[in-house]
Amino acid sequence: MSKPPPLPDRGPSPDSAVTSAGLHWSPLSLASTSKGVRAHERVIAQIEQQIFTGRLGPGDRLPTQRELAELLGVGRPAVREALRILEYLGVVGSQTGRGHSSGSVLVVRPAPALTRSLRLHMAMSQFERDDLLETRLHLEVLAVAKAAEKAAPEDLDSLAQLVAAMEDPAHTPEQFYAFDTQFHVGLATASGNRLIGSLMEAIRDVVQHEMSAAPIDLQSWPRTAGWLGAEHSQILDATRRGDSDRAAELLAEHIGRFYDVSFEESPARLISSWSAAGQTCR
């Protein structure tokens, strides 16, 4: 992904400083630190600003902690706290063993941290079932259609292993649903679109929780596992054949049927909204 072009440079304010990297940093005013905004939050805001304006991007190095403290007019503890938070968010690389002599580097591929953060927020947000179903339909139908066009052989092999794992009758429903969720996330990864993969990874816990929440009749479970497994197998076959329309159709039916059977709710309205949208995005 390329960096956004830098905004027109209006030049430094009278108080701002230009580092060796040509970046502008402004000392934090007393007013900005006295209205409940803590010093480390202002440090983060300044670094964010440099990223949003395209002055800083993946792989770039920040000034050292000492330089940042001087440039921003804050104590070293505030800078350290800001960097720790940015490290947790996956924006800057690990500080461990780095010492204080070199600045932190902005990470090049922040996807795992994005996913971790999104997963946590998704788990906390308690979305409506309809909203989750609708989002899954659009995301997964797009993912499987793209996977049919460009899945790598190793992605297809991993999916085949998951399909095989789901055929083991010894699995409990919980174990089956864990494989099932992995299969759906795997399809998103196989799409080759990293954003779809990250978004699907982000909702995986919510999806799995939703599946586990479905009332299970243990007597009829082997039959349920049987048809779910057969549908996964058909979706994978269509994906392997490169038949993106059929793979998308099978996937939409599969998700719809699961909700239909498990929750006795007809998702027909959502399925038809997917069909209408599908015609415009193809």
- Show contacts with Zn ion in window 82-111 (CB under 5 A): none
Identity of the residue, 115 or 208, whose beta carbon is nearer to Zn ion in the bound complex: 208
Shortest approach of Zn ion to residue 40 CB, angstroms?
44
- Greatest Cα pair distance, the chain, in angstroms, is 76
Identity of the residue, 44 or 144, whose beta carbon is nearer to Zn ion in the bound complex: 144
CA distances for 11 relative to 52, 113, 143, angstroms: 17, 33, 44
210 binds Zn ion (CB under 5 A): no
Identity of the residue, 134 or 180, whose beta carbon is nearer to Zn ion in the bound complex: 180
Identity of the residue, 81 or 180, whose beta carbon is nearer to Zn ion in the bound complex: 180
Give the per-residue contact string, 136-175, with Zn ion (x = CB under 5 A; - = no). Answer: ----------------------------------------
Instruction: Kindly provide the b/e burial profile for residues 33-47, where b requires at least 16 CB atoms within 10 angstroms of the residue's own CB.
Output: beeeeebbbbbbebb
Count of residues of this chain found to bind Zn ion when the rule CB under 5 A is applied: 1
Shortest approach of Zn ion to residue 181 CB, angstroms?
8
Reported as type and span, the H/E element at residue 24 is strand 24-25
Shortest approach of Zn ion to residue 253 CB, angstroms?
11
CA distances for 243 relative to 77, 224, 248, angstroms: 57, 26, 9
Identity of the residue, 102 or 220, whose beta carbon is nearer to Zn ion in the bound complex: 220
Tell me the C-alpha distance between 206 and 213, whole Å.
Answer: 10
Identity of the residue, 65 or 239, whose beta carbon is nearer to Zn ion in the bound complex: 239
Select the residue whose beta carbon is closest to Zn ion and give its number: 180
Shortest approach of Zn ion to residue 121 CB, angstroms?
24
- 17 DSSP β-pair partners: 25
Cβ neighbours of residue 221 closer than 8 Å, sequence gap 6 or more: 173
- Show contacts with Zn ion in window 173-192 (CB under 5 A): 180
Sequence-ordered alpha helix ranges (H) in the chain:
30-34, 39-52, 65-72, 76-88, 111-125, 129-150, 153-166, 173-190, 194-213, 221-241, 244-263, 268-281
DSSP 15: T
Identity of the residue, 155 or 180, whose beta carbon is nearer to Zn ion in the bound complex: 180
Shortest approach of Zn ion to residue 257 CB, angstroms?
10
Shortest approach of Zn ion to residue 184 CB, angstroms?
6
Shortest approach of Zn ion to residue 64 CB, angstroms?
50
Q: Contact at 8 Å (CB) between 92 and 105?
A: yes
Contact positions vs Zn ion (CB under 5 A): 180
